[in-house]
Amino acid sequence: MPESYVEADLLAGLFRPQRIQRKRGLASFELEITARCNNNCRHCYINLPADDKMALREELSLSQIKGIIEQAASLGVLWCTVTGGEPLLRNDFPEIYLFLKKKGFLISLFTNATAISKEHINLFKKYPPRDIEVTVYGISKGTYERVSRIAGSFDAFMCGIDILRRHQFRVLFKTMVLRSNVNELSKIAKFCRSISRHPFRFDPFLYMRYDRCSRRNAEIAAERLLPEEIAKIEKSDAERFREMKRNCNTLITYQRALSNSRRIFLCGSGNAGFSISYNGYFRLCLELWHPRCVYDLKKGTLAEAWYKFVPVVREMCSSRKEFLEKCRRCPIINLCMWCPAHSYLETGNMDEPVDYFCDVAKARYEILKRQKGLLDMVLPHTQQSC
C-alpha cells in the first residue's frame, strides 16, 4: 500500500515554520551514544551485542559528538539525557560526559547500572549528574536474567545499585512490565520505593525494533501484556492510578472527536527538544525512525535540522481515511500507545491504526469509567472510543 501522508504544501513550507518557531522553546535533547548493550533484554527496541563490530563502526566518533554538543549549546539547550544501548560501554564515556559538563549542560544518565566502574563513580562524585535513571528488570536472579538473558547480570546490577546508593547519587528507578517479570512487579515497586525517595515509574508499553528485525519483534510481541492486564495493573498501583485520575480531563478529550485536523503530529515532539541517534541522525523523538523524519547531521547542521527540518515534519498530513476517521478523531487517543513513531515501527506507516493500541486505550477507559462520576463531565454522551 502506498504511503498516504503528504508533506505540507509549498506555501506552508515557506511561511509556517517561522510562525511555529516562535512557539517552540528548545530546552533539552537526548544523546544516544551507542546502540550496543551488555544485556540482551527480550523487549528492547535497540540493543545490539556489546561486541557488535558493525554497530561500533557506525557510532559517532568523539569529535563528532563534541561537535553536536557544541552546536546544541549554541542553540541554548540546557539539558542532555545520555542514553543508548548502554552508554557506559563506550570507552570514551568520561570524555563525552566531561565535555557536556564543560558546556554547562544538566545531565541525566540512563543506564542498567551493570557496567558502573570505579572511574565512573569518581567522575560522578567530582562532577555530579542531575540524576541517574536505572531500569530494574527484576529483584530476583531468576526474573532479572530471564529478561536480560545474560548470566551474572543480576549480581552486576545489584552491585551497581549498591555503589550508587552508597555514594548518595540522585537515582530514579523504573521498570518495563513484561510477560517475563509481571509476577514480580509489586515486589519491584516495593523494592524501588524503599531505597529511593524519588518517584518510581513502570511502563507496560513495549514498542517494536528500530531495525525492524522480525525475529526480535516476535519476541517483543510475546512479552506484551493483554490490554486488560495493563489496565488492571495500573489500577492496582495507587500512585499510578491517582495520576491517571488527576489527569483525566487531558487523557480523555471529547473535543478531539470534533477535530478535522489532517496533521499526523499533534504531540509535543520537536517543540522543546530532539534526539540524536548513535549513528548521527537527528529525530524529533527517540522512537521516530521513519526515513522521511530523520536528518543526517553528518551532512548538515543542528540549526538547519531544528529550524528548517522539524517544522516540515510537523506539518506532514495524512490522507488515509481510516486514520482520519478513527485515530485523529478519537477522544481517548491519549490513553493509547498510538503515535506516528510507534505506528511506523508497528506497521511501516506513520498514519495507520494499530488494533492492540486501540484495545489498550479501551481497557484503560473502562477502568476509569467505573470510577463513580469521574467521566460525567468529560464524556457527557457515551462516545465510541475507537
Pairing label, strands 281-283, 273-276:
antiparallel
Q: Is residue 128 one of the residues assigned to a domain? A: yes
Q: Same domain, yes or no, for 278 and 335?
A: no
Q: Same domain, yes or no, for 343 and 355?
A: yes
Distance CA 189, CA 368 (A): 22
- Which range (13-22, 312-321, 338-347) has the least confidence? 13-22
Is the predicted pLDDT of residue 15 greater than 50, yes or no? no
Q: Same domain, yes or no, for 342 and 259?
A: yes
Confirm if 84 and 32 have CB atoms less than 8 A apart.
yes
Q: Same domain, yes or no, for 76 and 108?
A: yes
Residue type at position 131: D
Sign of CA dihedral 359, 360, 363, 365: negative
Quote the cell numbers at residue 204.
Answer: 507496560
Is the predicted pLDDT of residue 281 greater than 80, yes or no? yes
Q: Same domain, yes or no, for 251 and 115?
A: no
Q: How many CA atoms lie within 13 A of 77 on its CB side?
A: 29
Q: Is residue 1 one of the residues assigned to a domain? A: no
pLDDT tens track for 89-105: 999 999 999 999 999 99
Distance CA 49, CA 373 (A): 51
Picking from 171, 29, 161, the residue whose alpha carbon sits closest to that of residue 106 is 29
Q: Is residue 242 one of the residues assigned to a domain? A: yes
Q: Same domain, yes or no, for 231 and 325?
A: yes
Total domains present in the chain: 2
Query: Which residues have CB under 8 Å from 131's CB, separation 6+?
Result: 108, 109, 169, 170, 171, 172, 198
Q: What are phi and psi of 93, to 5 degrees?
A: -55, -45
pLDDT tens track for 24-55: 679 999 999 999 999 999 999 999 999 999 99
Per-residue model confidence (pLDDT) at position 261:
83
Is the predicted pLDDT of residue 8 greater than 50, yes or no? no
Q: Is residue 26 one of the residues assigned to a domain? A: yes
Q: Annotate the chain with three-state secondary structure.
A: CCCCEECCCHHHHHHHHHHHHHHCCCCEEEEECCCEECCCCCCCCCCEECCCHHHHHHCCCHHHHHHHHHHHHHCCCCEEEEECCCHHHCCCHHHHHHHHHHCCCEEEEEECCCCCCHHHHHHHHHCCCCEEEEECCCCCHHHHHHHHCCCCHHHHHHHHHHHHHHCCCCEEEEEECCCCCHHHHHHHHHHHHHHCCCCCEEECCCCCCCCCCHHHHHHHHHHCCCHHHHHHHHHHCHHHHHHHHHCHHHHCCHHHHHCCCCECCCCCCCCCEEEECCCCEEECCCCCCCHHHCEECCCCCHHHHHHHHHHHHHCCEECCHHHHHHHCCCCCHHHCCCCHHHHHHHHCCCCCCCHHHHHHHHHHHHHHHCCCCCCCCCCCCCCCCC
Confirm if 142 and 165 have CB atoms less than 8 A apart.
no
> Which of these three, 314, 336, 355, is where a domain ends?
314
Q: Is residue 383 one of the residues assigned to a domain? A: no
Residue type at position 287: E
Residue with cell 534526539: 275
Q: Give 37's strand partners.
A: 49
Distance CA 219, CA 242 (A): 32
What share of the chain in percent tops pLDDT 90? 78
Q: Same domain, yes or no, for 160 and 220?
A: yes
Q: Is residue 382 one of the residues assigned to a domain? A: no
Q: Same domain, yes or no, for 273 and 341?
A: no
> Which of these three, 278, 299, 314, is where a domain ends?
314
Q: Same domain, yes or no, for 284 and 356?
A: no
Q: Which residue range is the domain that position 341 belongs to?
A: 227-263+319-374
CA-angle at 105, arms to 104 and 109, nearest 5°: 145
Q: Is residue 361 one of the residues assigned to a domain? A: yes
Q: What's the CATH number where 48 sits? A: 3.20.20.70
Residue with cell 523504573: 174
Per-residue model confidence (pLDDT) at position 384:
45
> Which of these three, 274, 296, 314, is where a domain ends?
314
Q: Same domain, yes or no, for 214 and 351?
A: no
Picking from 386, 251, 265, 244, the residue whose alpha carbon sits closest to that of residue 327 is 386
Q: Same domain, yes or no, for 244 and 144?
A: no
Q: Is residue 381 one of the residues assigned to a domain? A: no
Per-residue model confidence (pLDDT) at position 18:
37
- Predicted confidence band of residue 258 (pLDDT cuts 50, 70, 90): low
Residue with cell 545531565: 107
pLDDT tens track for 151-210: 999 999 999 999 999 999 999 999 999 999 999 999 999 999 999 999 999 999 999 999
Per-residue model confidence (pLDDT) at position 17:
34
> How far, in Å, are 24, 99, 107, 195 from residue 80 at the CA level?
18, 12, 5, 25
Q: Same domain, yes or no, for 73 and 85?
A: yes
